[in-house]
């Protein structure tokens, strides 16, 4: 199937590792010109060198001046057709003890600065009558995860923003969707399992096995499987999918 994104320009955020990296590589493999952004460009350069359609961009999403500088450069260069909103997750913690300063700090990097970046890049998509905006959230927006108050709360704001924007720009040929990872096997998931093992004194393999047993598919997802779904949503073929939340979770979310 030709996905129709050869030479489309794609900005992938949080692309130094994990899901962002897999998506940047998948889009580049389909012939898109990819701007892969993260705080450490070295990590991107290490895999970007292989493909001359993949460019590393330095960007800390917590710094609005950096966001504006990157956007200025992209606009000068012709804008982008595809945006994949992604970045780091916030620290764990309960809702009843989460501090105001933490809400503000993480809301800025995970929501407000992303909304600003997208709003600035949208006019050029509208001019071209084509665009794809995909935001990575979490299964926690449908089934809040215990002790992840900041993540559940802030990512739900991304969902509300995404749906509102989808309705505003559907007539301009721009689709806006949210993807929800359940448990996809990235370095972050290994780190989370290791932290849980340390906290409970259990063996890390036991922790991972217990976690896998909660997933109907019986395994963690692969970053490439996640990237395939995102790449399809970014494609010309997915032109009639908008305003949606799409689960990539091996069946973990209990409700339908
Ligand atoms: P990850 O931690 O491996 O990757 C996050 C990426 O974002 C990295 O490239 C990191 O450098 C970058 N990043 C972090 N802070 C940043 C900042 N301030 N500015 C710019 N870039 C920044 O995580 P992942 O497993 O690839 O997941 C991606 C996102 O999806 C994360 O927000 C994660 O919490 C969320 N998520 C992942 C899973 C999963 O199963 N992997 C499940 C639920 C939610």
End-to-end CA distance of the chain: 29
- Residue 184 carries which DSSP code? B
Pocket test for ligand 1, best of 11, 66, 188, 246 (most atoms within 8 A of CB): 188
* Domain extent listing, the chain: 9-182+225-245, 185-220
- How far apart are alpha carbons 146 and 98 in whole angstroms? 13
Q: Tokens for 146, please give them.
A: 């215990």
Q: What pLDDT, in 10s, does the model give residues 122-164?
A: 999 999 999 999 999 999 999 999 999 999 999 999 999 999 9
- Residue 16 carries which DSSP code? S
Would you call 94 exposed, middle or buried from its count of C-beta atoms within 10 A (0-12, 13-18, 19+)? exposed
Q: What is the pTM of this model?
A: 0.98
- 9-182+225-245: CATH topology is Rossmann fold (3.40.50)
Q: What pLDDT, in 10s, does the model give residues 7-33?
A: 999 999 999 999 999 999 999 999 999
Question: What region, left, alpha or beta, does residue 19 occupy, with left being phi > 0 and alpha being psi -120 to 50 degrees?
Answer: alpha
Using alpha carbons, select from 227, 131, 216, 126 the residue that is nearest to residue 184.
227
Using alpha carbons, select from 217, 256, 232 the residue that is nearest to residue 179.
232
Pocket test for ligand 1, best of 41, 86, 147, 157 (most atoms within 8 A of CB): 86
Ligand 1 touching residue 18 (CB < 6 A): yes
Q: What pLDDT, in 10s, does the model give residues 61-98?
A: 999 999 999 999 999 999 999 999 999 999 999 999 99
- How far apart are alpha carbons 87 and 122 in whole angstroms? 20
């Amino acid at each position: 199937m030709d996905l129709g994104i050869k030479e489309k320009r794609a900005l992938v955020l949080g692309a130094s590792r994990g899901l962002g990296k897999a998506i940047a590589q998948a889009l580049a493999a389909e012939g898109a010109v990819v701007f892969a952004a993260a705080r450490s460009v070295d990590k991107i350069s290490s895999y970007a060198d292989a493909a001359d359609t993949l460019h590393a961009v330095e960007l800390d999403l917590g710094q609005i001046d950096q966001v504006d500088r990157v956007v200025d450069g992209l606009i000068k260069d012709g804008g982008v057709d595809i945006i994949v909103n992604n970045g780091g997750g916030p620290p764990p913690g309960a809702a009843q003890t989460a501090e105001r300063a933490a809400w503000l700090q993480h809301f800025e990097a995970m929501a407000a600065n992303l909304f600003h970046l997208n709003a600035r890049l949208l006019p050029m998509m509208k001019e071209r009558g084509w665009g794809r905006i995909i935001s990575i959230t979490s299964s926690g927006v449908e089934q809040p995860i215990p002790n992840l108050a900041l993540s559940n709360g802030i990512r739900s704001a991304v969902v509300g923003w995404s749906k509102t924007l989808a309705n505003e720009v559907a007539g301009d040929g721009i689709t806006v969707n949210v993807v929800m990872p359940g448990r996809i096997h990235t370095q972050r998931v290994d780190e989370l399992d290791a932290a849980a093992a340390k906290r409970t004194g259990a063996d890390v393999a036991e922790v991972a096995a217990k976690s896998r047993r909660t997933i109907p598919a019986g395994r963690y997802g692969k970053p490439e499987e996640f990237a395939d779904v995102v790449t399809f949503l970014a494609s010309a073929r997915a032109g009639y999918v908008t305003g949606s939340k799409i689960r990539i979770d091996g069946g973990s979310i209990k409700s339908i």
